[in-house]
Chain A
Amino acid sequence: MGKNKTAETSRRLPERPPETPPARKRDSLVVLKHVSKRFGGNYALRDINLELQKGEVHCLCGANGCGKSTLAKIISGAHRPDSGASIEIGDNRYDELTPQESRRYGVQVIYQDLALFPNLSVYENIAFEYNLGHTRLYRRERLRRKAREVLDELAFSINLDERVENLSIAQRQQVAICRALVAEAKMVIMDEPTASLTRVEVNHLLDTVRYLKSKDITVVFVNHRLNEVMEVSDRVTVMRDGVLVGTYPAKDMDEERLSELITGRKIDFTLKGEAWATGKVVLEVKDLSRAGQYQDVSFSLQEGEILGVCGLLGSGRTELALSLFGLTRPDHGEIRVDGRPVTLRNHRQAIQAGISYLSEDRLSLGLILKQSVADNMVLTIMERLKNCLGLLSREKRRQTVAEWVKRLDVKVNDSEEPITTLSGGNQQKVVLAKWILTNPKILILDSPTVGVDVGAKSSIYQLIHQLAREHIAMVLISDEVPEVYYNCDRILHFRQGRVAGEYRPDSIGIDTLSEVIGNG
């Protein structure tokens, strides 16, 4: 932690780690010194020193739980740092900021859930602050005019009167950015802005960020994904376990180095290579169609095979998965499991037939957040945990949970604590355990690593490979091309509800594949 020492000796100067390039001299907007934050007995942040400059794009990177979100919240005033901290903003020095002070200095945060009013219109959302700040009277036309101006300025095409709940995630994010601009933001902090965007939408976002930068607005990305935002970032600050690892110029950073810094170890991507498919076909889908969702989908899947399904959001991949899991009924076509045609009226029948589905939405469909780790894990097999009296056996429950916590290497102190106490990767392992416990023949994994940090990702991949070795057939649906490329035996490309192509990782390069899929 050599940098901290530097900070102490040059307390009166804007702190600047040695690695920082003097490329373009910029004034600093926010300077944090000796910021620590404890929750209960655990340090979320430990003596952080960070400088954010005017008009720079700064990427705050780190694994889940490394403290990057906490740091963002200290800047926005949502969290108070422990005593001893100093926050310089504007020309003033504070021990801690209130949300009001922070906003007054133009700090705007765009949270992952975007914090919009879903039942209000686009213009009402955009001009919300404007309304508060300038007049107590609600003047519809003024609000609309202001919203129109900002939308035009950023070249967003969104209907002003549409209710926000009817917008796509990308459009909602645009509304949130507009709202920040209306509030005269000097700094926009975006928490995981690309998490649920497709490549095209990400490009659009990056254009917007470039524009903000040209207006001398500081943009801070809080991110754990490695790729996209690096394109527009000036500097990258990496955090690990509540400690600032370092701040680096973005142009010197590549994926490998960054993931090494984030996890503290080296990860190398290699082709899966080995195949565990046994040749025995467990799932056959023939000409399956459902109006407006997917058309004439046919494929087969062998025991131990991992089939990747790639395609943009809305290309029909999740919709197909829901039908395979019995939650929606296909209009026509046939599903065969072990050679026998099956009709899946509901998901209970699907589970009985040996098909399990890990939802893409871990937080609201995969987990029951407030409930315990143990209950989340055994929820699917409650009926199996009975003793001779037909009552739930605490012993069986305890044993099952302990066994799977160990087998999947779930980092948990007490499995009776709420599952929210776990990191994203460990939460996902619990969801996986829940489905493995149902003894599936076919496991559909819908975006299993969304919101999971780099280190935990590779352990989930290892787990998937392990399951394949145990002859479970898997369908791996993902937005991320590398994810399917490096983990699957075959890849289906979905486009507009149809299978547009089938690829094998050993006969196509990842760049070619990315291009094919990224073009929709």
Chain B
Amino acid sequence: MSNRSNFWVQLPAIGLPALLAASLAIFGLLLPGRFWSVGAFESMAFQMPELGLLTLAMFLPFVSAGFNLAIIVTANITGIFMAWLWVNMVPSDAGTGLQIFWVALGLLGAMLIACLIGVLIGSLVAYVGVHPILTTLGFMTLIKGVGIFITRGAPVSGMPPVVQFLGTGSFLGVPMPMVVFILTALAMLVLMNRTSFGKYVYMSGSNINATYFSGIGTHRVIIGIYVISSLICVLAGLVMNARFNSARMGYGDSYLLLTVLAIIMGGADPLGGFGKVGGLVLALFVLQIISTGLNLFGVSQHVSLAMWGAVLIFVLAAKFFNRRYYLPWAQRRAAGPDSCSV
């Protein structure tokens, strides 16, 4: 098989990077000087991580052919816990050291809550066999109700300066929320590709029974999936706390299904078993560029939401075209000379 014919078969893999480049180029041309600016990119880097972290939280259950509807409320409830702790415990004149201590303590507590939520969801899914969508629908409603009851729906405001830095500061010129997202995405990349746990997630997503019969403790894998998913929600909650300087039930509600949009656009299989962290990150960048670009035009937020939907439909249509018409053509082309000589 010659390299040239192989090229056509491999070509569709560049779809998403090409889309990214195209969107960068189009907005650059339409908004000369305004889109390709430090300001625009900075605002993107501040905005994207919330959706990004939540998408990573959805990604793991999604690849295992599951779902986690409770990501937003988990981020909210752990965010509220942290905010409550910091507002009530951190003295207003606390030094950086003391602040960091309380922030760490708050994070630890939030992680314990997240672990509890994750273990409960995972156990119900794994041992009782309740469908993940139903299980997490239950938890979503439960946690939302409890959270609103406790806070009476009001925001808990006033973060210590250290946390505010996480929302507004930069590290080596990269906005802090982006730093958190990049680190989390890298950790996810390693988890999915270089650990046995990650492999088990993919394999369970394709056929959990066969995975179980291969001697894998799939129950524990499922619980692990929902625990890790909930832990990532804590980071999303932290970033939201930092950006809004407050925590409230309902922050980020609109992101819930957008995470699925980003995952599918990133190339994950809706039936589970396949999906790449890299694809997901690229998809998030494309979505953010569209949103920021349209925003610079002064277009309503709702139009950019509509655009996201349109892009997803376009990507799905392109995938269908690719599988149905393009790939067979490319494979014929690639194998053509070979098969004739048989």
Query: Could you tell me which A residues sit within 8 Å of B by CB distance?
Result: 38, 40-43, 346-348, 351, 357, 359, 364-371, 375, 379-380, 382-383, 385-386, 390-392, 434, 438
Could you tell me if B203 and A371 are in contact, using CB atoms closer than 8 angstroms?
Answer: yes
Q: A47 → chain B, closest Cβ, in Å? A: 14
Q: Hey, which chain A residues are within 8 Å of B213, CB to CB?
A: 347, 357, 359, 365-366
Contact indicator A364/B207 (Cβ below 8 Å):
yes
Q: A365-B210, A370-B274, A391-B190 are in contact. Are A380 and B202 (CB under 8 A)?
A: no
> Which residue of the partner chain A has the closest CB to B271?
A370
From residue A131, how far is it (CB to closest CB) to chain B in Å?
31
Residue of A whose beta carbon sits closest to that of B202 = A371
Closest chain A residue, CB of each to CB of B209: A365
Q: Which of A42, A379, A385 contacts B216 (CB 8 A)?
A: A379
* Contact flag A383-B199 (CB < 8 Å), given A41-B336, A365-B209, A438-B215: no
Return the chain A residue nearest B335 by Cβ: A41
Given A41-B331, A41-B338, A370-B274: A380 in contact with B210 (beta carbons within 8 A): no
In the assembled complex, how far is the CB of residue B152 from the closest CB belonging to chain A, in whole angstroms? 47
17 pairs of residues in contact across A and B, judged by CB atoms under 8 Å:
A38-B339, A41-B331, A41-B338, A368-B273, A369-B206, A369-B207, A370-B207, A370-B274, A371-B206, A375-B203, A379-B203, A380-B215, A382-B196, A383-B196, A392-B193, A392-B196, A434-B214
**What are the residues of chain A within 8 A of B128 when measuring CB–CB?**
none
Q: Which residues of B contact A347 (CB under 8 A)?
A: 212-213, 215
For B5, the closest partner residue in chain A by CB is A41
Residues in B neighbouring A375, C-beta threshold 8 A: 199, 202-203
What chain A residues lie within 8 Å of B194 (beta carbons)? 391-392
Name the distance in Å between B126's Cβ and chain A's nearest Cβ. Answer: 14
Contact of A370 among B206, B211, B214, B339 (CB under 8 A): B206
Closest B residue to A43 by beta carbon equals B339
Question: Which of A357, A368, A383, A385 is close to B211, meaning CB atoms less than 8 Å apart?
Answer: A368
Residues of A within 8 A of B217 (CB): 346, 348
Measured in the bound complex, the distance between the Cα atoms of B273 and A348 in whole Å is: 23
The 7 closest A-B pairs by CB, nearest first: A41-B335, A382-B196, A41-B339, A391-B194, A40-B331, A368-B207, A365-B213
| Binding site secondary structure of chain B | helix
Nearest chain B residue, comparing its CB with the CB of A385: B196
B332 at the interface (CB under 8 A from A): yes
- Near A by CB (< 8 A), chain B positions 202-246 give 202-203, 206-207, 209-217
Contact of B195 with A by CB under 8 A: yes
Most A CB atoms within 10 A — which of B215, B274, B336?
Answer: B215
The tally of residues in B whose CB lies under 8 Å from a CB in A reads 31
Q: How far is the CB of B311 from chain A (nearest CB, A)?
A: 26
Q: Does B334 contact A (CB under 8 A)?
A: yes
**A367 CA to B206 CA, complexed, in Å:** 10
Among A40, A351, A367, point to the contact of B335 (Cβ < 8 A).
A40
Chain B positions 282-311 with a Cβ under 8 Å from a chain A Cβ: none
Interface presence of B15 (CB below 8 A): no
Task: Kindly state the separation between the CA atoms of A359 and B332 in the bound complex, as whole angstroms.
Answer: 37
CA A359 – CA B273 in complex, angstroms? Answer: 22
A434 vs B210: C-alpha distance when bound (angstroms): 12
Question: Complex: how many Å from CA A5 to CA B196?
Answer: 57
Q: B208: nearest residue on chain A (CB-CB)?
A: A368
How far is the CB of A100 from the nearest CB of chain B, in Å?
Answer: 21
Q: Is B153 an interface residue (CB 8 A)?
A: no
Q: Evaluate whether A391 and B195 lie within 8 angstroms (CB atoms) in the complex, with A380-B214, A380-B215 already known.
A: yes
Distance in Å from the Cβ of A516 to the closest Cβ of chain B?
Answer: 32
Instruction: State in angstroms the CA–CA spacing of A77 and B306 once bound together.
Output: 41
Least Cβ–Cβ distance between B216 and chain A, in angstroms: 7
* Assembly CA distance A38 to B216 (angstroms): 39
